Structure 1
Amino acid sequence: MSMINKPWLLTKFIGIYCADLFYSACKIAWDVATIRDHSSPGIVKVPLEKQSDPEVTLLANLITFSPGTMVVDLAPDKSFALVHFMFIDTPDEAIATIKTLESRILELLR
């Protein structure tokens, strides 16, 4: 099924991603505007499902577009990505965040 046949999923994905962008931007703005440093940065190795090049590219770009996160490196075999987080409580939570985005992308594109 092509993406054109999934207008509801596309609309839902865009809405959720925009809400996440807004939340991330507000979190960054709060950290910058306040005196106290709220950030807890870190780099996490996030395992990836077997994906095509366009799927991995879309995932990496959406991670990097989101304020406070950035893909630092990608394994040559696309088995994992190193992702820098500005706000990280535990590595498991960070991985879960990226895996949720990954599953939404794969649901939309497959």
Structure 2
Amino acid sequence: MKLWYILQFVVLYLWDLSLGALRVAQDVITPKDLSSPGIIKFPLEVKTDFEIALLSNLITFSPGTMVIDLAPDNSYLYIHMMFLENEEDAIKEFKEQIESRVLRILR
């Protein structure tokens, strides 16, 4: 069953990477600035150092997003987003699309 979760995650993550790259490219080549940058405080469900590192790398590898800090108690990530429209929606999207899938694969 884990193999299915891994395959599903890889396909969805590659799709997300492609969409992010296209969005960043569109912002770069158009004369008008389409970005709305911001920083979110992302509450973590992952606990181990490996889980936090994996999640942070997956977020940072996505075009337009970058993990900039980890709370001292490992309870939050601070994420810079190039296209932030709504903080709650961004947190929900990261939870559903990345963190929950990482947890399903690792635990």
Range class of TM-score, shorter chain: over 0.9
Calculate the TM-score normalised by the size of structure 1: 0.93
Q: Aligned equivalents of 2:46 and 2:77: distance in 1?
A: 12
**Which of 95, 98, 102 is equivalent to 2:94?**
98
Describe how 1:59-98 pairs up with structure 2 within 5 A. 59-98=55-94
Code of the aligned partner of 1:46: F
Q: Which runs of 4+ in 1 moved over 6 A?
A: none
**Identity percentage of aligned residues:** 51
Code of the aligned partner of 1:39: S
The reply to whether residue 107 of structure 1 matches residue 104 of structure 2 is: yes
Residue in structure 2 matched with residue 17 of structure 1 by the alignment: 13
- For residues 44-69 of structure 1, give each alpha carbon's deviation from its aligned partner in whole angstroms, at most 9, with x where no partner exists: 10111151110000000000000000
Gaps in structure 2 of 5+ consecutive residues? none
Code of the aligned partner of 2:101: R
Residue in structure 1 matched with residue 38 of structure 2 by the alignment: 42
Q: Aligned equivalents of 2:99 and 2:65: distance in 1?
A: 14
Secondary structure at the aligned position of 1:83 is classed as strand
Aligned-pair Cα RMSD in Å: 1.0
- For residues 14-64 of structure 1, give each alpha carbon's deviation from its aligned partner in whole angstroms, at most 9, with x where no partner exists: 000000000000000000011111000000101111511100000000000
Gaps in structure 1 of 5+ consecutive residues? none
Q: Aligned equivalents of 1:78 and 1:104: distance in 2?
A: 19
